[in-house]
């Protein structure tokens, strides 16, 4: 804008920068502390932000290697962090695959087919998002307790139960996929239909290859969603070896068992990749964001 700016403008810019810098400091401060704590020796030592001496004991702890503690003795880690990370990855991969399978097909029907009750299905999916699983924890626990007495492999304290419990949460992904399918031209599929393809072939051979980018994004979002899920996992899993990272991490910062340094290392190890992947995937979900999806 080619307008003569008043003199107060410069002061306003300085004030805005000061405010933004202060806020950025408040945002970055926790992460810097965590990085510093993870490299500081001992779980209780509190010192300057730039550690005076660097120790890798917390990183060794997190990786499950024997480490030399504050008392000078070589000890083995008591919390199986790598095991938890592996559990989380296992559950999240299975759950993302199931979610993708269920939501790609459902959203195909919702985007491309005409049938009675379509609007109701869409509204129902929207409404489901308003009632998070945390409200039905008692029932989820009771249901898997019952399932477990018939099929022990799907009961409490199994990862399969967690994958099953997550498989219902497809509402947001169905909306994302449906939105993307609708941006793809339907004419190609129609041409395939004219050439004698069944609806399944049109879906499998024509639409899916075109939708590959969004399938990857939905997979990643479902994967992250399962990794960071806490309430259901905390109810279904109780044995220490079975926990996912989100449930297990809590054990580090217990009042009587304050593993501050070990937690810091574990947080960076698991949080950094998730954050990076999320930052890469999130530009795809801004539209989903505005539709009312809120991340936990």
Partner 1 sequence: MSARPAWLRHALAAAAVAASLWVVMLVHATGQTLLALVLLVGCALAVWTYTSRRTHALRYLFPGVAAALVFVVFPMLYTVGIGFTNHSSTNLLDEARARQLLLDESVTVPGTQRPFVVLPAEGSRVRLQLPAHEARPALITPPFELPQPTAADPGAQGSSSAGAPVALQSEQAPSAAPIESSPWTMRQTVEHLPSLRQLTLTTPEGARLTLASLREFAQQQSLYAAQQDGSLVDRLTGTAYRIDRAEGFYASAEGDRLQPGFRVGVGLRHYEQVFSDGKFREPFLSVFVWTVAFSGLTVLGAAALGLLLASLLHWEALRFRGAYRMVLFLPYAVPGFISILVFKGLFNQNLGEVNLILHGLFGIKPAWFSDPALARLMLLIVNIWLGFPYMMVLCSGLIQSIPADLYEASAVVGAGPWTNFTRITLPLIAKPLTPLLISAFAFNFNNFVLVSLLTGGRPDLTDSTLPAGTTDLLVSYTWRIAFQDSGQQFGLAAAISTVIFLIVAAITLVQMKLTQKEAVR
- Residues 114-143, interacting with partner 1 (CB under 8 A): 114-115, 118, 121, 125, 127-128, 130-143
Size of the site for partner 1 (CB under 8 A): 103
Q: Does residue 22 touch partner 1 according to CB under 8 A?
A: no
Stretch that binds partner 1, among 56-64, 113-121, 187-195, 213-221 (CB under 8 A): 113-121
Tokens of 243: 């926990």
Stretch that binds partner 1, among 73-81, 107-115, 186-194, 211-219 (CB under 8 A): 107-115
Q: Does residue 51 touch partner 1 according to CB under 8 A?
A: no
* Cα 162 to Cα 236: distance, rounded to the nearest angstrom: 7
Q: Does residue 18 touch partner 1 according to CB under 8 A?
A: no
Q: Does residue 208 touch partner 1 according to CB under 8 A?
A: no
Q: Does residue 46 touch partner 1 according to CB under 8 A?
A: yes
* Cα 90 to Cα 96: distance, rounded to the nearest angstrom: 10
* Cα 111 to Cα 186: distance, rounded to the nearest angstrom: 10
Q: Does residue 108 touch partner 1 according to CB under 8 A?
A: yes
For partner 1, which is the closer residue by CB, 55 or 104? 104
Q: Which of 56, 82, 109, 160 binds partner 1 (CB under 8 A)?
A: 109
For partner 1, which is the closer residue by CB, 37 or 192? 37
Q: Where in 214-233 is the site for partner 1 (CB under 8 A)?
A: 224, 227-228, 230-231
CB of 209 to partner 1, least distance (A): 17
Q: Where in 174-193 is the site for partner 1 (CB under 8 A)?
A: 174
Q: Which of 69, 199, 210, 284 binds partner 1 (CB under 8 A)?
A: 199
Q: Which residue has the tokens 């024997």?
A: 66
When computed from its CA atoms, the radius of gyration of the chain, rounded to whole angstroms, is 25
């Amino acid at each position: 804008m080619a307008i003569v700016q008043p003199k107060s403008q410069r002061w306003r810019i300085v004030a805005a920068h000061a405010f933004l810098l202060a806020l950025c400091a408040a945002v970055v401060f926790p992460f810097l502390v965590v990085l510093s704590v993870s490299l500081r020796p001992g779980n209780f030592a509190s010192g300057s932000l730039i550690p005076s001496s660097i120790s890798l004991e917390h990183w060794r702890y997190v990786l499950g290697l024997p480490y030399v503690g504050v008392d000078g003795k070589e000890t083995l880690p008591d919390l199986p962090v790598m095991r938890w990370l592996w559990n989380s990855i296992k559950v999240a991969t299975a759950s993302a695959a199931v979610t993708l399978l269920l939501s790609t097909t459902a959203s195909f029907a919702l985007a491309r087919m005409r049938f009675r009750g379509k609007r109701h299905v869409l509204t129902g999916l929207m409404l489901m998002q308003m009632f998070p699983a945390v409200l039905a924890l008692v029932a989820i626990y009771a249901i898997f307790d019952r399932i477990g007495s018939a099929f022990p492999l799907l009961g409490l304290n199994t990862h399969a139960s967690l994958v099953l419990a997550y498989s219902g949460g497809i509402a947001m992904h169905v909306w994302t996929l449906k939105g993307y399918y609708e941006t793809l031209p339907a004419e190609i599929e129609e041409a395939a239909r004219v050439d004698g393809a069944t609806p399944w072939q049109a879906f499998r051979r024509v639409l899916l290859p075109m939708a590959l980018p969004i399938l990857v994004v939905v997979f990643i979002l479902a994967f992250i969603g399962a990794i960071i899920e806490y309430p259901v996992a905390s109810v279904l899993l109780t044995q220490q070896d079975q926990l996912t990272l989100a449930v297990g991490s809590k054990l580090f910062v217990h009042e009587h068992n304050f593993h501050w340094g070990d937690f810091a290392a574990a947080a960076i190890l698991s949080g950094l990749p998730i954050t990076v992947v999320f930052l890469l995937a999130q530009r795809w979900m801004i539209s989903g964001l505005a539709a009312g999806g809120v991340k936990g």
